[in-house]
Amino acid sequence: MQLRLVEIVLPNSSTERLTDVLDEHKVVGGWSDPLNDDLVRFQVLVEAERSEELLDVLESRFSSLQEFRVVLLPVEATVPRVPDEKEPQPEEKEKPAGRVSRQELYADVAQGAQVSRV
């Protein structure tokens, strides 16, 4: 199973709204750290196939906040290992294996589309 680490920086006043969002989405695990200037950083481990949906919700609910930032990182390994789900849930759509989020795809295309003299 491919995993992504989603790092979210928000003002402390938005912590409860964020935990409500995370409760609605299937996350493997999550942690939080206080930062300076009344900010908090959440680190959330999610399946790669679910990262795009979570990023879309985060962007729609928190992008108006000046301090809001999301960083998406690929996860090479985690200990203990996260068990694979063998049977898909009937209410979930089956997604192709190895699918990346739209945000990851945009970042890759933007890097390759830069014009240079070479």
Ordered by start, the domain boundaries in the chain are 3-82
In this structure, whether the domain defined by 3-82 belongs to CATH 1.10.10.10 is answered with no
Say what the pTM is.
0.74
Cis ω on the peptide bond leading into residue 80 (within 30° of 0)?
yes
Helix, strand, coil percentages for the chain (3-state, nearest 5): 35, 25, 40
Q: Is 85 exposed, middle or buried (0-12, 13-18, 19+ CB in 10 A)?
A: exposed
Residue range 98-112: mean pLDDT, rounded: 74
Residues 34, 35, 40, 41, CA torsion sign: negative
| 94 pLDDT tier (thresholds 50, 70, 90) | low
Give percent of the chain with pLDDT exceeding 70.
87
Flag whether pLDDT at 5 surpasses 70: yes
